[in-house]
Structure 1
Amino acid sequence: MKQSLKNILSLLFFIISFVCLFVLIQTKHIWGNVYIEQILINLADGVLQASNKLLLGYAISAVLGIVSAIAFSLFIKQNKYLVLISSFCLAFCLYQIGIFSYIFHKTVYTKLYEQEYIYPQNLTYTFSNQKRNLIVIYLESIEENYAISPNLSSNLIPHIYAHMKTHLSFEGFRQLKHQDFTAAAMVESLCAVPYKHSILKGHTGYQNYLANLVCYPEILEQNGYQTVFIKGADIDFAKANLFFSSHGFQTVMGKTELEQKYPAYPLKENKGAFSGYSDEALYEMVKLELLNLNKSNKPFALGFITLDTHTPDYHLGKSCTGTPFNKEDVVRCADTLLANFLDWLKEQPFYSDTTVFVLGDHIETGNNSLYPKEKNRKIVNFVLNPSPVFPEKPHTAFTTLDIAPTVLNALGISFGQNGFGLGRSLLQEKQTLLEKMGYKLETELMKSSKIYDSFETVKINTEPSYHLYAPFGLELSTTAEISRFATYSNKILDAVFLSELSFSLPETSANSLSLSLKYKIMLASKNKRSIKVVANGQIVDTLVVTNKDIQPLSKTIAIPTNLLNQNKLLLNFEDEEPLAYSLPIGILSLKLNP
């Protein structure tokens, strides 16, 4: 009986190791060299659910692994050899995905953030008198080598390359190990920090990720911009909707939201890669969105990402000639669609007041099948209508970390240190971190950091200067927005448990501040509960709720300005129960008015 159990366990171990080996082969075939962080992020984000082709490919690989293991095991008579081969296969797989390097770097802390990170919330932003509109176009997997590779018979992106040669374009757009997938490109280009996964923290996707970080769309939103992000596929994939909405984008739309808003473009008739909208339809809906935004007298910032060139679901647009699923034809089509969109854009009345930033999100994952041996691959980028305030400065190497400060400068916005997060503006002379450190930067970014941990934990710096500047009229309408101002916060269901909110306020001659709250207090086993609202150490009101109240409730509290200390406001919420450590209050909105 014991021998039979050993045989079964040895065979099971052998099968598992072969399945891992075949899945690794399939992964490398599709994605090239991948690393454990990228695997964990994509598994947590449900990448296999995004494409039936991907799911089928991995299912076939698993079956082949099982069949091969069983067939091979017939020739191995001793369990110790099965275990030995299994151990070797698993160790090889783990080595190939960088698990040993990942574990090592998780135990080593970098000083990079202490030495180089520039807190965006501590900067003073100066806008030009006429605020410029912004359009950021992320081109899926489009690299400069499509134009210049000697292994191609022709330039696949003639329009893009022409713009790179005739408009502002930055040399040396490099990709580091952790920057080779879209989620990383989004976080890094918007927030100027890497996108990392922590097994111990167990976060999945963006949902509780970097809640305490300040990204450049938040700066624009705080200064009167209409902010929109559009994606042709599911916007909740990788919890992108939660990340974008909590970091400055007022409107976030994916395929479901687009179909609801623009029914003239039904998804069924305009389907592209990964069961999302085709890039053709996406561009048309972006045009409509831009026309709507232009109706307001406020500046706008709109970002969107294409998808039809994403491996392995290449999609050829209806208006393009060529062979479906042929990579060269799909890339040519992407170039043509962008050119047509830019031609339309240049005819619009708002174009002269609009800066357009075009960039690839990353190079194609793995070794590009069109030129598999090329190593020196660079990402496309160019800028139309940059502000003349900051002329181009020569740079030799940069990464997606440097996009955020460069976008702000391209809009004519100055902010003192010429850096934002770990990014350095390419329109300033200050070296980028890649220029300064070389590829040592890659190693340092892989290490752990206490400052980085503070971006995603509920505990943040208690100094008000580290909190995002809160002007009069600020309204916080999501739990993520509220948590950014909290010394301690925790989200359970739809309620935010918090103890203190911290704000920096401008000079004011008003006699009082008006604090408007919508809230609901959890009564638990009690029939009545009281919460004291304390402003800079003085009780200004008490929130009382009984089990007869219909919640949520609304209340406006007047806070005398003489309570403000150096234009800082600390709001504490004190529970009457001595064992309560924080306020169990679900705040829907918070507004400060003079």
Structure 2
Amino acid sequence: MKRRRIISVLTVLLVFLGLLLVKVAEWVPLTFGDIPFEQVLFHMMVPMQGTDTSFLSSFIDYCLPIPSIVSGILLICCIIKDWKISSDIKHGEFKHVRNNVLIIITTVACLFIYGFGITDCIYAVGIDQYWYNVSHPSKLYEEYYVNPENVKYTFPEQKRNLIYIFMESMETTYEDLEHGGAFEESRIPELTELADNNLTFANGNNDNNGFLVPSMSGWTVAAMVGQTSGVPLNIPVEGNEYISDKSFLPGTYSIGQILEKNGYKNELLLGSDAAFGGRKYYFEQHGNYNIVDYNTAIEKGWIDKDYREWWGFEDIKLFEYAKNELTELASSNQPFNFTMLTADTHFIAGYECSECIDLYGDRYSNVIRCSSKHVTELVQWIQEQPWYENTTIVLAGDHKSMDPDWFKDIEESGYNRKCYYAIINSAATPTTQNSRKITTYDLFPTTLASLGVTFNSDRLGLGTNLYTETPTLVEKLGFKKFDKELTRHSNYYDKYILYGKGKD
């Protein structure tokens, strides 16, 4: 009897796990869209404090009910079956053959459910592709990577300030058809006007409006790493060995480090907990950034200790705090690099602040329009400041939105989604007026060049300085091939970038 009870418990457990994996396989693409397994793996290994709890609620509501109900019913049946077997034994009616056959059939069925759940989950979240990439190393870095630490930089006599605004999920997709977007009526007319009047490197070709986002830079911290250091965030299974407050991509050499070495004050402002996703670790270790986040706002008394909206505090507060921080930074005699990250446009459906207006009949469109308005108003405020003349502003979406339902019809139409990008008040002029095909990594050297900095290489990391005529890697290789190479394992990346064990 004891052996049968153990088998019954294991059977119920296998059914629960199998059905749970089936539901997880459905939930992940429904909630996050088509994401690489590396992104799932990364978020399993980094600090999760400060995350939006709606994801946990969504997981519980979608994934747990059916496995729990079916397993509960099966458990009750197993208990009743054990009672029946006990009764048979007590009355001397040994029906071992029938009972053993029943146990075998039940166990095989449960193993089938478990096996199907594992297989479904493996394909749904891309574990199969991940192992293929690991077992087929790439030589991309050996052929094209330029270590930024080995490059010589020359700054202008009067160093320019940099304001870099990461805009959550901000795409050129939201623009109107005339500007290469996917809508009859633009959701971001204010940002479109900024792009029309400033530098985008599209040069009138709407097909190249914005920048392409490789798989390994398709979530926030990976996008921030890619745009500031020119490399993807490629995570091995044992990745937790380096994601910590002591080590985060020690082999990278970012714009923060370059600017700090040349006398800049670096600061990062965001409305959530900076520890989430390891963002705090990356920016502290790569440029010694002063971190101003949700926790800082509480410490400084900007918000009450019990205050929490969306991921921490909403963007309408973020923009006001940005003005205060910029005024303080500009009051010193030190050049500054001020980086900030918006959040209201995060999926699912975004956060409607008190100033959002229902213009389009759906929440996400209204939030996107509100963000466009607020970012533009901040830019206009900056342009009115006495220190603006010596300041360059970079506006960049961090990655494509992960809201799968909102983009369903757009993607089915074959539209090629890209992120928004514009440089305002650049100190440099492109040497060519050709329309450029660019990715996340090209923003790193291009941002540095926009400050009037010159360097003895047209490429930094895997990014190309767009002010030069040198082809970007996506222009040279094509996006599909470039993206495929990035997802594959690289011995060079592991040794020199991931663990920083040597210098090339």
Normalised-by-shorter TM-score class: 0.7 to 0.9
CA contact (8 A) 2:251 2:498 kept: yes
Which residue in 1 is equivalent to 2:451?
Answer: 411
Report whether the alignment pairs 1:199 with 2:227.
Answer: no
CA distance in 2: counterparts of 1:305 and 1:458, whole angstroms = 27
Letter of the structure 2 residue corresponding to residue 409 of structure 1: A
Q: 1:12 to 1:265 in 2, by over 3 A?
A: closer
CA contact (8 A) 2:168 2:341 kept: yes
Which residue in 2 is equivalent to 1:285?
Answer: 321
Which residue in 2 is equivalent to 1:317?
Answer: 353
Which residue in 1 is equivalent to 2:481?
Answer: 440
Deviation at 1:209, TM superposition (A): 2.0
Q: 1:185 to 1:63 in 2, by over 3 A?
A: same
Deviation at 1:187, TM superposition (A): 0.8
CA contact (8 A) 1:33 1:366 kept: no
Report whether the alignment pairs 1:104 with 2:132.
Answer: yes
Q: Deviations over 1:528-571 (max 9, x none)?
A: xxxxxxxxxxxxxxxxxxxxxxxxxxxxxxxxxxxxxxxxxxxx
Which residue in 2 is equivalent to 1:369?
Answer: 406
After the TM superposition, which residues 501-516 of structure 1 pair with which residues of structure 2 at under 5 Å, given as runs?
A: none
Q: Where does the alignment leave 5 or more consecutive residues of structure 2 unmatched? A: 79-101, 203-207
Deviation at 1:451, TM superposition (A): 2.1
Report whether the alignment pairs 1:456 with 2:498.
Answer: yes
Aligned match for 1:425, one of 465, 473, 477: 465
Q: Deviations over 1:125-153 (max 9, x none)?
A: 11122211100001101111111368646
Which residue in 2 is equivalent to 1:246?
Answer: 285
Which residue in 2 is equivalent to 1:12?
Answer: 13
Q: 1:329 to 1:268 in 2, by over 3 A?
A: farther
Aligned match for 2:334, one of 288, 291, 298: 298
Letter of the structure 2 residue corresponding to residue 456 of structure 1: L
SS at match of 1:138: strand
CA distance in 2: counterparts of 1:325 and 1:183, whole angstroms = 28
SS at match of 1:11: helix
Deviation at 1:89, TM superposition (A): 2.2
Greater Cα shift, 247-256 or 449-458:
449-458
SS at match of 2:417: coil
CA contact (8 A) 2:431 2:467 kept: yes
Q: By percentage of residues, which structure has more strand?
A: 1
Report whether the alignment pairs 1:122 with 2:150.
Answer: yes
CA contact (8 A) 1:232 1:279 kept: yes
Letter of the structure 2 residue corresponding to residue 218 of structure 1: Q
Residue identity over aligned pairs, in percent, reads: 27
Greater Cα shift, 165-174 or 212-221:
165-174
Q: 1:35 to 1:71 in 2, by over 3 A?
A: farther
Aligned match for 1:180, one of 218, 227, 230: 218
Q: By percentage of residues, which structure has more helix?
A: 2
Which residue in 2 is equivalent to 1:352?
Answer: 389
Deviation at 1:267, TM superposition (A): 6.6
Q: Deviations over 1:349-378 (max 9, x none)?
A: 111111100010011015351553424111
CA distance in 1: counterparts of 2:461 and 2:176, whole angstroms = 33
Deviation at 1:166, TM superposition (A): 1.9
Letter of the structure 1 residue corresponding to residue 172 of structure 2: E
Q: Deviations over 1:31-64 (max 9, x none)?
A: 1122221111112235486122111111122322
CA contact (8 A) 1:169 1:383 kept: yes
SS at match of 2:23: helix
CA distance in 2: counterparts of 1:96 and 1:264, whole angstroms = 43
CA contact (8 A) 1:245 1:251 kept: yes
Letter of the structure 1 residue corresponding to residue 358 of structure 2: G
When the two chains are superposed, the root-mean-square deviation of aligned CA atoms in Å is 2.5
CA distance in 1: counterparts of 2:305 and 2:366, whole angstroms = 23
Report whether the alignment pairs 1:155 with 2:186.
Answer: yes
Which residue in 2 is equivalent to 1:386?
Answer: 426
Q: Deviations over 1:240-287 (max 9, x none)?
A: 2121011014312211113434x3455756x5322x121111111111
Q: 1:23 to 1:182 in 2, by over 3 A?
A: same
Q: Where does the alignment leave 5 or more consecutive residues of structure 1 unmatched? A: 467-594
Letter of the structure 2 residue corresponding to residue 442 of structure 1: D
CA contact (8 A) 1:259 1:266 kept: yes
Q: 1:184 to 1:206 in 2, by over 3 A?
A: farther
Deviation at 1:397, TM superposition (A): 2.0
Which residue in 2 is equivalent to 1:26?
Answer: 27
CA contact (8 A) 2:430 2:466 kept: no
Q: 1:34 to 1:280 in 2, by over 3 A?
A: same
Deviation at 1:88, TM superposition (A): 1.8
CA contact (8 A) 1:316 1:330 kept: yes
Which residue in 1 is equivalent to 2:82?
Answer: none
Deviation at 1:24, TM superposition (A): 2.7
Count of matched residue positions in the alignment of Structure 1 and Structure 2: 459
CA contact (8 A) 2:215 2:487 kept: no
Q: Deviations over 1:503-538 (max 9, x none)?
A: xxxxxxxxxxxxxxxxxxxxxxxxxxxxxxxxxxxx
CA contact (8 A) 2:25 2:120 kept: no
SS at match of 1:444: helix
